[in-house]
Chains A and B, each alone.
Chain A
Amino acid sequence: MNHPTSHDELLFPGDDPSPSRRAFLRLAGFGIAAGSLAGCSRRAPTSALSWTQAPEDVVAGRAWWIATTCGGCPSACGALARCRDGRPVKLEGNELDVDSRGGLCAAGQAALLGVYDSQRVPGPRWQGRSTTWAELDSQVGLELDALRKRGKVRVLTSTIHSPSTRRAIQDFVGHFADARHVAYDVPSAAALLDAHMHTHGVRVLPDMRFERARVVAAFEADFLGTWIAPVHFAARHAERRVPGGDRSMHVQFESRLSLTGSRADRRTRIAPHELRAALERLRDEIAVRAGAAAPARSSLREELGAAIERIAEELWGARGASLVVCGTNDLAGQLLVNEANALLENYGRTLDLARPSLQRSGDDRALEQLAGELERGEIDMLVCAGCNPAYELPSAFARALGRVKTLVTCSPEHDETARIAHCVAPEPHFLECWNDAEPFAGSLRLTQPTVPPLRDARTLRSTLRAWLGDTGSDREHIEEHWREAIWPRARGSESFEAFFRRALHDGVVELPRENVATPAFRGRVALEPSTPGPAGATLVLYAKVTMPSGAHAHNPWLQELPDPISKATWGNYACIAPGRAASEGLSDGDVVRVEAGGAVLELPVYVQRGQHEDVVAVALGYGRVGTDRFMRVGPQWIGASPTVDSGDAVGVNAAPMLAFEGGYLRSDVHPLRLVRTGRRAELARTQEHDTLQLPEDLAPHGHAERDLLHARDGHGGHGNPGLWPDDHANDGPRWGMTIDLERCTGCSACVVACQAENNVPVVGRDEVARHREMSWLRIDRYFAGEGDEVRADFQPMLCQHCANAPCEAVCPVLATVHSAEGLNQQVYNRCVGTRYCANTCPYKVRRFNWFDYAREDELANHSLNPDVTVRSRGVMEKCSFCVQRIQEAKFEARRTGRPLADGDVRPACAQSCPARAITFGDLADAKSAVARATADPRAFALLEELNVQPSIRYLGRERRAGRKEDPHGH
């Protein structure tokens, strides 16, 4: 088999959009190669082993990059796959993507593992038996012929952002008398879409330009963590978070403590049932300022009302440069938000409808209607793709699926839906296939395969086309669609081939904006008077930053990635506010029975400060069938307890509690009953002590709190004079890093990036509970404040590469020494494992291989980075500043005969950060970005009083008014 082969600087999106002649030829060759690749994807190779005869222009051991698109979620961030020896080993953001700006979230990067998932279905199945595509096509063909004239056919998908696939679905649906395409999202944004249908006449999401907003008011919208396109929002929001003149003001109104809320300048807890009234008050307050007559005050909690008035004033003050976003799936609420934004003149400025976002298109009313049809057993054939309705929809819906005459699913794994489906037509992993995407109108992504399909799979596009008798390959379909529909919109002089090739090379294409009038606000929509929902306990179902949806549940990296807020791994839990926990006598780890929406869950409690007292929050995306595969993850010894019991699942599935309310799939459910079971299940958390406050009875006088987050006055970050002369030559670079604590959102993308880049093992629940997680880069989370005031400070913590490293001095065998470039090096094969270095490390960033960690899954091992040693038992390991990348960059510079430039070296963490909080470079070069950042007055060396002289400088959080900075705690 031939393969995309090209040097990194060719497929790597360089600065000039038009590739050199060599690149031209190479890419032309690539086209053919890829064609044949797609052509032979019918064969199902069983492994992605390196070639025995490599194509002659492939240099073994040198990586090349292939532009692709992340398929982790519908926001479709541009991505680059780093390929080695014919297989992708790392996913990174595509710098050319103007929206993600090179960032990629934790889930996106972890999605790499999916391609090497040994438990994907090997090929198509019919009536429970595995079959061939030809066989399957003929069987389904017969059924479809019968249904063409009469019979209900439905295609049920999650949001489809691929224009060519959307087209294929339309064509498919068009062939039947009664067929429809229904899309849904969980959590749903349908109300937001419908609201714009009402107020602007277009069913789209406005593109939210946080970077233009001086004041941001977010209601139940975790836009930095999970809401719609967090990577894009974080990148834009971060621009305005740097202390200084135009620092934006961010106020959060929410029921649980979300990642976004934990970073807000001001935060007000609000119960879901108060939300609509609050929004109404906000709308009114703004309307009054806009000159409307003062309306009748709706009833609202006193302090909440005050908070709303305050933010209304601030928003009004910044009208045109303000932004109100709301995550609720309540149409009335969203209409109020749109009106407020319209009154604030935000449309066209901070809310862009000229280039709307197509990242959500789910339609809950259509879904509810389909649910009815299913109930009545009217559906003859249901084709599910990119979704898992049996798992992620309300239990009633899941039950009704059983009434479909022919249930077809395209899920790549043997999931809940596949288990009840008559026909399984598996889709390939997004790294295995051709695809395209249009996350924003006029902003397109092109996806090319990075590895031959490891399973006998076929995209939904091809499958549907095949059922219509078109047996063309994916690439043909896409090229055809682009030629007809996309290329003309480019209105460029470029030939289609050149255009397509550029798209292929860059991965992203920005089409010129069509000059059509952007839809304007049509005025207030008549609403039934606000009826505040029932008070009392409410269950809030949320998506977790580390587990955005159940589709990722089989990903060990994400399962073990600590939630940035709770720091818990491996499973979900019931977040309960401290007051409620106290009154019910509950504490962390008490198992409670949660009864709501006609379903019952048993979960351990996690007491979450900053959460509304009436709210119990449970994460979706857990309890997936088949997650007992993790039973034997981590070391097996007499003292070990399994991560999950056989036949059991990691966490529990809260989706059955979702409920349709007023035609919308609501994730806030009431009433709720909470019953204590008396059992306990300890949470596996990576951080025991949650604040910088010392225990009151032990704190020295005047030092109730450890100040690790701020630059201190009178300290420039350069330590005291040393006792001894420094006789170590240090010419050439001195690598260093700065981490901006104001920009960092705690999203944990860097943690997964590090794990993927450096082959950090997964150790399982038991080991995490024993505080033996192996992550080289962790994010320390410190809560401050209580109630509304609660915030979280995040501090990415990795090896500080100290110039006076305490760890080096104590190693008896010189297994950790200092390089001439300022790196603190760990020599695995010299280490005898005394752990003395780890004890002496003031930052506790060293990780010890307590066992030989299981690497039994041969296929999964193909995701290992060949440039990084897989450490064996008994040796110490830690962050290396991605020394393999430093070396690669040096070799590359030498090969191309140019000096190493600033930015040539990018550790995985720095590369992945959507908020660009991490800067890496050569401190010796005064002009380098990192050197300049180090000069920032906020820069400080952590624990500098120890004079270990770290190479990392943190850009501290600035002490702001309105924040409680009481050194003596609360």
Chain B
Amino acid sequence: MTRRQLVGYFEEDSQVVHALRICRERGLETLDVVSPFPLHGIDEALGLRRTRLPWLTLIGGSVGLALGMALQYWSSASDWPLNVGGKPFNSFPAFVPVAFELTILGAGLCTVFGLLARTGLHPWRRVGPERLRTSDDRIALVVARRDASHDPRELRQVLFECGAVEVVEEELP
């Protein structure tokens, strides 16, 4: 079966927030908001859960630190200990900088690739239906439309009232 949804295009982010609230009140299912720049207060309005990306960062950092320290200690003091400038084989203070850099590296890589993975961003990703100027200056509010409930005209009405400059009905296969 085909899903159908209405997309309302706004020019002001404040209007979108307002529109979201109205739709919620009317029990409409708001699917998504698509904007050229981040909007604030939208997450709550859409009821999105806070991302757990920071945990991933923490893990990456810890792994980097552990690996860094292990590599340095093992290679300098265990695998092939060499007398270098009379310093002890395990010259811990000298190992700090490299361990630190590896911590940052691990954390950074995990953050970035975590983001790409969770958001499903990759070069071959197909972009969904052509949305008008949402990467330029329009903000799109996507509302689901069930066959049974609501009359599309009323729905359009609501969106226009909230300040939508245009409302388009989309069909998804």
Residues of A within 8 A of B (CB): 722, 724-728, 802-809, 811, 814, 817-820, 949
Contact = CB atoms under 8 A, between A and B. Distances in A.
B91 A724 contact: yes
Contacts of B82: 814, 817-818
> Which 6 A-B pairs give the minimum distances between C-beta atoms?
A809-B85, A808-B85, A818-B83, A804-B86, A728-B83, A817-B82
Contacts of A803: 86
B89 A804 contact: no
B36 interface: no
B88 interface: yes
Nearest to A814: B82
A728 B91 CA distance: 13
Given A724-B91, A727-B89, A820 B84 contact: no
Interface in B25-76: none
A724 B88 contact: yes
A559 B89 CA distance: 46
B86 A818 contact: yes
A8 to B, nearest CB: 33
Residue of B83, B84, B91 contacting most chain A CB atoms (<10 Å)? B83
A804 B86 CA distance: 5
A829 to B, nearest CB: 16
19 contacts: A722-B86, A724-B87, A724-B88, A724-B91, A726-B86, A726-B88, A803-B86, A804-B85, A804-B86, A805-B85, A807-B85, A808-B83, A808-B84, A809-B84, A817-B83, A818-B83, A818-B84, A819-B83, A820-B83
Contacts of B89: 727-728
A724 B85 CA distance: 12
Contacts of B85: 804-809, 818
A814 B89 CA distance: 13
Nearest to B84: A808
Contacts of A809: 84-85, 87
Residue of B84, B89, B91 contacting most chain A CB atoms (<10 Å)? B84
Contacts of A802: 86
Nearest to A722: B86
B148 to A, nearest CB: 72
A918 B84 CA distance: 27
Contacts of A805: 85-86
A820 B85 CA distance: 12
Interface in B78-108: 82-89, 91
Residue of A724, A802, A803, A817 contacting most chain B CB atoms (<10 Å)? A724
Given A725-B88, A814-B84, A818-B86, 18 more contacts: A722-B86, A724-B87, A724-B91, A726-B86, A726-B88, A727-B88, A728-B86, A803-B86, A804-B85, A806-B85, A809-B84, A814-B82, A817-B83, A817-B84, A818-B82, A818-B84, A818-B85, A819-B83
Interface of B: 82-89, 91
Contacts of A807: 85
Nearest to A949: B86
A808 B86 CA distance: 9
A805 B86 CA distance: 7
Contacts of B91: 724
Nearest to B91: A724
Contacts of B84: 808-809, 811, 814, 817-818
Contacts of B88: 724-727
A434 to B, nearest CB: 51
A823 to B, nearest CB: 10
Contacts of A725: 88
Nearest to A816: B84
A817 B76 CA distance: 13
A727 B88 CA distance: 6
Contacts of B86: 722, 726, 728, 802-805, 808, 818, 949
A801 to B, nearest CB: 12
A803 B91 CA distance: 16
A726 B88 CA distance: 6
A809 B88 CA distance: 11
A309 B7 CA distance: 120
Contacts of A726: 86, 88
A826 to B, nearest CB: 13
A799 to B, nearest CB: 14
Contacts of A814: 82, 84
Residue of B82, B86, B87, B89 contacting most chain A CB atoms (<10 Å)? B86
A814 B85 CA distance: 11
A819 B83 CA distance: 7
Nearest to B86: A804
Nearest to A728: B83
Nearest to A808: B85
Contacts of A722: 86
A278 B102 CA distance: 80
A959 B17 CA distance: 92
Nearest to A725: B88
Contacts of A818: 82-86
Contacts of A724: 87-88, 91
Nearest to B77: A727
A944 to B, nearest CB: 15
Nearest to A803: B86
Contacts of B83: 728, 808, 817-820
B92 to A, nearest CB: 10
B31 to A, nearest CB: 56
Nearest to A805: B85
Contacts of A728: 83, 86, 89
A728 B88 CA distance: 7
Nearest to A724: B88
Contacts of A811: 84
Residue of B82, B85, B89 contacting most chain A CB atoms (<10 Å)? B85
A466 to B, nearest CB: 64
A807 B89 CA distance: 16
A811 B84 CA distance: 9
A817 B83 CA distance: 6
B1 to A, nearest CB: 65
A328 to B, nearest CB: 56
A137 B169 CA distance: 121
B89 to A, nearest CB: 6
A228 B24 CA distance: 114
A807 B82 CA distance: 14
Nearest to A817: B82
Nearest to A726: B86
Nearest to B76: A814
B32 to A, nearest CB: 52
A62 to B, nearest CB: 31
Nearest to A729: B83
A818 to B, nearest CB: 4
Nearest to A840: B85
Residue of A728, A806, A819 contacting most chain B CB atoms (<10 Å)? A728
A726 B90 CA distance: 11
Nearest to B80: A814
A805 B88 CA distance: 13
A881 B88 CA distance: 24
A845 to B, nearest CB: 16
A727 B91 CA distance: 11
Contacts of A820: 83
Contacts of B87: 724, 809
B78 to A, nearest CB: 13
Residue of A814, A820, A949 contacting most chain B CB atoms (<10 Å)? A814
Nearest to A811: B84
Nearest to B83: A818
A807 B91 CA distance: 16
A725 B89 CA distance: 10
Nearest to A819: B83
A54 B87 CA distance: 48
Nearest to B90: A727
A817 B87 CA distance: 11
Nearest to B89: A727
B87 to A, nearest CB: 6
A644 B103 CA distance: 59
A949 B85 CA distance: 10
A735 to B, nearest CB: 14
